[in-house]
Amino acid sequence: MTATAAPESPPAGGPLVGTGTLVRFALRRDRVRLPVWLALLTLTPALSVASFQSTYPEPADREAAAETMRSPAGLAMTGPERYLDQGYDLGAMTSHQLIGIFALAVGLMTVLTVVRHTRVEEESGRAELVRSGVLGRHAQLASALLVAGAASLLLGALLAGLFAAMGGSDGLTTEGALLYGAVTAAIGLVFTAVAGVTAQITAFSRGASGLGFAVIAAAFALRSVGDVGPAALSWMSPIGWAQRAYPYLDNRWWPLLLHLALTAVLCALAFWLSTMRDLNAGLRPPPPGPPDAHPSLAHPVGLATRLARGTLIAFGAGGLLFGVMLGSILSDAEQMLDEIDTLAKEFLLDGASATEVFASVALGILAIVAAAAAVATLVRPRAEETEGRAEPLLASGLSRTAWAGGQLAVALGGATLVLLASGLGIGAAGAASTGDASLLPELTAASLAYAPAVWFTGSCALALFGWFPRAVAAAWALPGYAMAVTFLGEMIDLPDVLRDLSPLGHVPSVPVAALDWVPLLVLTGLAAGLSWLGMLGLRRRDLDLT
């Protein structure tokens, strides 16, 4: 008589059993990450509203600002023209200028959160270990969606409460504040579901994140084109739906139904797609590689270039596009700075034209993109270390200095190329919009003045990786702080001592100011010192594989 094994019965509770445990585990892992996201996405809009109140205290100031937004480039960067036609009070200004921009940040938060708790877990092998216990098939995806969705709802509630507390006049109504928070949460829910779908398509976390970011960019681009041209395109974007709820203006609540319906459809699609693939596999299989590796991969720089090329190409394309957008409105700079007296007094320098002043500010913004590219490339060695790919590489005779040096060279060289692409974009578009061909070489060369500050930012990431590898993500604070200072420093009258904490603040404001080599050489020297310090720390510590 032969005994036969009884067939495995599904765990009690169905495909979602264990979801609550995974939610608690995810919240435990994100106990620092999510609060930082929520703080940034709550306080930055609140500071922006406060700056609107101080910069545009009178209706005439706000009407002048509205006129500057009527150009195609202005509408593409902010929102639909209807906000400008209904009386541009502080409420309309808040909704018009903030929803579209911060929708990008909310989308990034949700996509990164979902991919971190789904595809990254499978890629690292932890998902297989977790699923060996009593766990439903859909528990992992459901927990990731719940955590990211809850973060979106909490963000919406925080914004609604804060804006309601700041309101009471100039169109800042309580109902508008509640709707503003609701549409922000709705955008987060849609992109949470988008990430749930993209996590099923590719076998790698970078691919899943990249697809999610591409959807966010496409949503913003549809909204931009629709606000300038055919409005139907805006109705194809969840960001466009949010803007057409018109918080503080018409207070339409029904567009939220579109967000909820799309979220439900995408979530259902994500769960269905998850049943169509195996664990650790994506619906789109990776293409087979060549039979023989390219000889350049045997060199640290060649290997680092191969690993970082996707990231750098994405940042380069983004910098070029952003530069073109900013350059296309250079021809409006004179009008903008003339009509906004307070800003003109603040920014205009002796002997500088409005175009030069606007170009110098725009170059500082573009430098933040390059600084982010440097940090994104230099935090990658941490993943190579923790996921066990660095250990066999270093066991082959490759020194830690050569390995880290290759990563550093590619990061700083690639970030410099991102700067160059950004300068080329704003220079070419600026020359086309103003008819001044000299702007192309002038702004392209001026963008390189920010290279030492970008190198300094990247070197800080390497120093953290060398001595405090678990804190390497803190390197993102430097480009984030530089962005806050660039956008809000003048408006909120930030003290000089706080502005000086941003490396970009030490770069001469070319083309307005003459090129001063002293601060650039100091930043380059500090970058070299931090790089040496980081490699010293890497040589002295053990590899951290956890």
Q: What is the pLDDT of residues 268-313, one digit of tens each?
A: 999 999 999 888 888 887 777 778 878 888 888 999 998 888 888 8
Nearest Cα residue to 378 out of 482, 457, 468: 457
Contact of 494 with 424, CB cutoff 8 Å: no
pLDDT beyond 60 at 347 = no
Contact of 467 with 534, CB cutoff 8 Å: yes
DSSP state of 435: -
Distance between CA atoms of 450 and 443, rounded to whole angstroms?
A: 12
Distance between CA atoms of 427 and 327, rounded to whole angstroms?
A: 6
81, with CB counted inside 10 A (0-12, 13-18, 19+), is middle
Q: What is the 3-state secondary structure (H, E, C) of 6-69?
A: CCCCCCCCHHHCCHHHHHHHHHHHCCCHHHHHHHHHHHHHHHHHHHHHHHCCCHHHHHHHHHHC
pLDDT beyond 60 at 341 = no
SS3 70: coil
Q: Tokens 């004179």 identify what position?
A: 334
Contact of 373 with 311, CB cutoff 8 Å: yes
- Give the angle subtended at the CA of 413 by the CAs of 410 and 417, to the nearest 5°: 125
Alpha-carbon torsion angle 309, 310, 313, 316, nearest 10: -100
Between 236 and 386, name the one with better pLDDT: 236
Label residue 1 by pLDDT band (50, 70, 90): very low
Q: Collect all residues with Cβ–Cβ distance below 8 Å to 103 and sequence separation of at least 6.
A: 184, 187, 216, 219, 220, 239, 242
For 38, 113, 430, the CA distances from 186, given in Å and listed in that order, are 15, 16, 36
Q: What are phi and psi of 500, to 5 degrees?
A: -70, -15
Taking the chain, what is the end-to-end CA distance rounded to the nearest angstrom?
Answer: 49
pLDDT beyond 90 at 475 = no
pLDDT beyond 50 at 2 = no
Distance between CA atoms of 34 and 30, rounded to whole angstroms?
A: 6
Residue 196, pLDDT score = 95
pLDDT beyond 60 at 8 = no
207-219: average pLDDT: 85
Contact of 395 with 374, CB cutoff 8 Å: no
Contact of 479 with 456, CB cutoff 8 Å: no
- What is the tens place of the pLDDT at every residue in 94-136? 998 889 888 988 998 999 999 999 998 888 788 888 888 888 8
Between 207 and 437, name the one with better pLDDT: 437
Side-chain-side CA neighbours of 407 within 13 Å: the count stands at 29
Residue 247, pLDDT score = 94
Distance between CA atoms of 543 and 505, rounded to whole angstroms?
A: 36
Between 336 and 185, name the one with better pLDDT: 185
Query: CB atoms < 10 A from the CB of 39, how many?
Result: 11
pLDDT beyond 80 at 544 = no
Distance between CA atoms of 16 and 31, rounded to whole angstroms?
A: 23
Residue 490, pLDDT score = 63
Contact of 358 with 300, CB cutoff 8 Å: no
How much is the mean pLDDT over the chain?
85
Nearest Cα residue to 446 out of 366, 539, 346: 366
pLDDT beyond 80 at 11 = no
Helix (H) or strand (E) holding 520: helix 517-540
- What is the tens place of the pLDDT at every residue in 38-87? 998 898 888 888 878 777 888 888 887 787 777 666 777 788 888 888 78
Helix axes 139-166, 19-29, angle to 10 degrees: 50
Q: What is the DSSP string of 354-401?
A: HHHHHHHHHHHHHHHHHHHHHHHHHSHHHHHHHTTSHHHHHHTT--HH
Tell me the Cα Rg of the chain: 25
Nearest Cα residue to 451 out of 481, 414, 486: 414
351-356: average pLDDT: 73
Residue type, 15: P
SS3 459: helix
331-337: average pLDDT: 65
Distance between CA atoms of 170 and 18, rounded to whole angstroms?
A: 49
Distance between CA atoms of 343 and 51, rounded to whole angstroms?
A: 12
SS3 134: coil
Distance between CA atoms of 16 and 19, rounded to whole angstroms?
A: 6
Nearest Cα residue to 358 out of 368, 366, 347: 347
Q: What is the 3-state secondary structure (H, E, C) of 215-277?
A: HHHHHHHHHHHHHHCCHHHHCCCHHHHHHCCCCCCCCCCCHHHHHHHHHHHHHHHHHHHHCCC
Distance between CA atoms of 448 and 426, rounded to whole angstroms?
A: 13
Between 423 and 169, name the one with better pLDDT: 423
Q: Collect all residues with Cβ–Cβ distance below 8 Å to 257 and sequence separation of at least 6.
A: none
Between 480 and 372, name the one with better pLDDT: 372
* Lowest-pLDDT range of 204-213, 286-295, 359-368, 456-465: 286-295
Structure tokens of 444?
């392209």
Query: CB atoms < 10 A from the CB of 244, how many?
Result: 24
pLDDT beyond 70 at 334 = no
